[in-house]
Amino acid sequence: MEISAPRGTKDILPDSSGHWRYVEETAREVCRAFGYNEIRTPVFEHTELFLRGIGETTDIVQKEMYTFEDKGGRSITLRPENTAGTVRAYLEHKLYGESQPVKLYYIGPMFRYDKPQAGRFRQFHQFGIEAIGSPGPAVDVEIIIAAVEFFRRLGLKDLDLFVNSVGCPKCRPVYRARLQDALRDKLGEFCEDCRSRFERNPLRILDCKHEKCGQLSQGAPRMGDCLCDECRDHFAGLQALLAAAGVPYRLNPRLVRGLDYYTKTAFEIQYPPLGAQSAVCGGGRYDGLLAELGGDPTPAIGYAIGLERVLLALEKQNLLPPADKAIAVFVAAVGDQARAPAFRLAAELRRAGLACEMDYMNRGLKAQLKQANRYPARFVAIIGEDEAANDKVTLKNMQTGEQQLVDAGQVEQKIRAEMGD
RNA sequence: GUGGCUGUGGUGAAGUGGUUAACACGCCGGAUUGUGGCUCCGGUACUCGAGGGUUCGAUCCCCUCCAGUCACCCCA
């Protein structure tokens, strides 16, 4: 064995592709119920889109992007997330001409050059939704409820919803400055990471896992105390609606999003047993992004759900659906003369819409029955020399063990009659 | 990117510095001639992750690399 899949990528094999389909279908059903329509954008975009959209100073842009030059000399990047691409498509195709808000969802692979770990891959899949055009907070609550509903339908338990407001371009700089002022004289005592974050992204310091840093930032001003009137009202409205909808949530003033475009509402849904990669859903409002990408100022909000992590959570809670390989009929041929009639019967049954299998390994009858049993098959249609000569089929019900000789042309209706449909 | 742990057949897993590396599952075949799910029997491992080194000799000792995993980091 020499060639293997690139690091951080994974083959989804038949034994688990059914799980993926189940999760994706659940996502699509929820989107239909909430009025979100699918959008499919390219897996690669001009690098520039992400530089401007996600922010040049973010970790994603600085060290996690798959960027390359194509043969035309363009700088191309495999999408590390899909909000930027979705917004780009919204602007490019002038979806602002449709009734607002425009509600979109996507499911697909994303790419980040991270060090792989359980729940963290270089190619991973996200299901995300974006609502563009409404300032909220009603849509904010709607998309959160959509996420909650998605998890509810899957049966997942023990999820925690955290919400926060990260302010807007009016109040965040004010808060940022106040925070820096409060931390400045103690800066030397913070960890190395925090010291480097001080200028670049001081809000992250509040998120630091180091106990020392946590203590040092204890008395620091909180974003909540510095929100401008508009942001404060918005945040209050969000919480009122969440409460009205009966959605349990927790405030987390330290919740910060890693992408520059977020404003006001920020939220995250976690499943703690996943350990370090416990965030299964993360999102928030990005009122500044459309203008940043050259559009008219337009409010918007969205989130992304990591499907690998959802699958991990489902596995932990034993909620993955069992594989369903059951078929209606297995056509067993015995002897050379039976081969052609068996093929013909299988083709007819399949054309009639019955799931049908047969042997391709020249196995004996016993082995074919064993094979049929494995699927399992409801019926086995046995064709040997006698049957082939008389245009008959021995039809065996695998549950009762009963078998009868029937005309080859009547196999389908016999099966349908016995299956009761 | 930093640090810890792990790497034996398709899968789960024992094991030893030295002839034919357990076991279980799976898969294939058989248990009188064309009949399954149970049972029994048999079969199924060119490199014990890769490449070097130590040694008379290494799958078990050392180094490097690769991969997985956990924490940090980041995030979905």
3-state secondary structure A10-77: CCCCHHHHHHHHHHHHHHHHHHHHHCCEECCCCCEEEHHHHHHHHCCCCHHHHHCCEEEECCCCCEEE
Strand B nucleotides, any atom under 7 Å to a protein CB = 1-2, 27-31, 34-37, 47, 66-76
In the predicted model, is pLDDT for residue A41 greater than 50?
Answer: yes
Distance CA A76, CA A68 (A): 5
Strand B within 7 A of A3 CB: no
Q: What are phi and psi of A3, to 5 degrees?
A: -85, 130
Predicted pLDDT of residue A421: 57
Nucleotide nearest to A393 (CA to C1'): B34
Nucleotide nearest to A386 (CA to C1'): B34
Mean pLDDT value across chain A: 90
pLDDT of A1 higher than 50:
no
Mean pLDDT of A51-75: 89
Lowest mean pLDDT among A55-69, A123-137, A297-311: A55-69
Cβ-Cβ contacts under 8 Å for A261 (sequence gap 6 or more): A53, A54, A55, A83, A286, A288, A289, A292
User: Looking only at Cα atoms, what is the longest distance across chain A?
Assistant: 97
pLDDT-derived band at A2 (thresholds 50, 70, 90) equals low
Closest alpha carbon to C1' of B27, residue? A371
What's the start-to-end Cα distance of chain A, in Å?
49
A130 touches strand B (CB under 7 A): no
Strand B contacts in A 304-323 (CB under 7 A): 304-306, 308-309
Enumerate the domain spans of chain A. Answer: 14-171+227-316, 327-416
What is the Cα–Cα distance from A201 to A223, expressed in whole angstroms?
Answer: 14
CB A349 within 8 A of CB A375: no
Question: Strand pairing of A403-407 and A300-306?
Answer: unpaired
Distance of CA A390 to the CA centre of its chain: 55
User: Is A365's CB less than 7 Å from nucleic acid strand B?
Assistant: yes
CATH of domain A327-416: 3.40.50.800
SS3 A345: helix
Question: Cβ within 7 Å of strand B: which of A 150-189?
Answer: none
* Residue A273 CB lies within 7 Å of the nucleic strand B: no
CA distance A73 to A47: 12
- Percent over 90 (pLDDT), chain A: 64
Give the Cα separation of A234 and A91 in Å (integer).
26
Pick out the nucleotide with least CA–C1' distance to A383.
B34
DSSP letter, residue A262? -
Q: Which residues contact A251 (CB under 8 A, 6 or more apart)?
A: A162, A163, A164, A224, A239
Amino acid at position A13, single letter? L
Write out pLDDT tens, residues A342-360.
Answer: 999 999 999 999 999 998 8
Task: Name the protein residue, with chain letter, whose CA is nearest the C1' of B28.
Answer: A367
Phi first, then psi: give them for residue A40, nearest 5 degrees: -120, 120
pLDDT confidence band for A168 (50 / 70 / 90): confident
The better pLDDT of the pair A197, A43 is held by: A43
Can you tell me the distance from the alpha carbon of A64 to that of A292, in angstroms, rounded to the nearest whole number? 22
Identify whether the C-beta of residue A53 lies closer than 8 Å to the C-beta of residue A83. yes
Our measurement of CA A209 to C1' B51, in angstroms, reads 39
- Helix spans in A264-361 (H): 289-292, 307-316, 336-351
Paired strand residues for A210:
none
Question: How far is it, in rounded angstroms, from Cα A114 to Cα A204?
Answer: 19
**Residue A44's beta-bridge partner residues?**
A78
A277 touches strand B (CB under 7 A): yes
Q: What is the mean pLDDT of residues A209-238?
A: 83
- DSSP label at residue A276: G
Q: How many helices (DSSP H) and strands (DSSP E) are in chain A?
A: 16, 16
With bands split at pLDDT 50, 70 and 90, how would you rate the model's confidence at A63? confident
- ∠ CA A89-A34-A254, nearest 5°, is 75
The reply to whether the CB atom of residue A217 sits less than 7 A from any atom in nucleic acid chain B is no
∠A279-A283-A285 over CA atoms, to 5°?
A: 160
Question: What confidence tier does A217 reach under pLDDT thresholds 50, 70, 90?
Answer: confident
With b meaning 16 or more CB within 10 Å and e meaning fewer, what string describes A171-182? Answer: bbeebbebbeee
Pick the closest to residue A7 from A125, A123, A126 (CA basis).
A123
Topology of the domain comprising A14-171+227-316: BirA Bifunctional Protein; domain 2 (3.30.930)
What tokens appear for A345 in the block?
Answer: 């019967």
Would the pLDDT of A280 be above 80? yes
**pLDDT tens figures, A230-263:** 999 999 999 999 999 999 999 988 887 767 778 8
Q: Which of the nucleotides lies closest to A335 (Cα–C1')?
A: B34
Please name which of A247, A37, A249 lies closest in space to residue A142, comparing C-alpha atoms: A247
- What are the tens digits of pLDDT across the range A111-164? 999 999 889 999 999 999 999 999 979 999 999 999 999 999 999 999 999 999
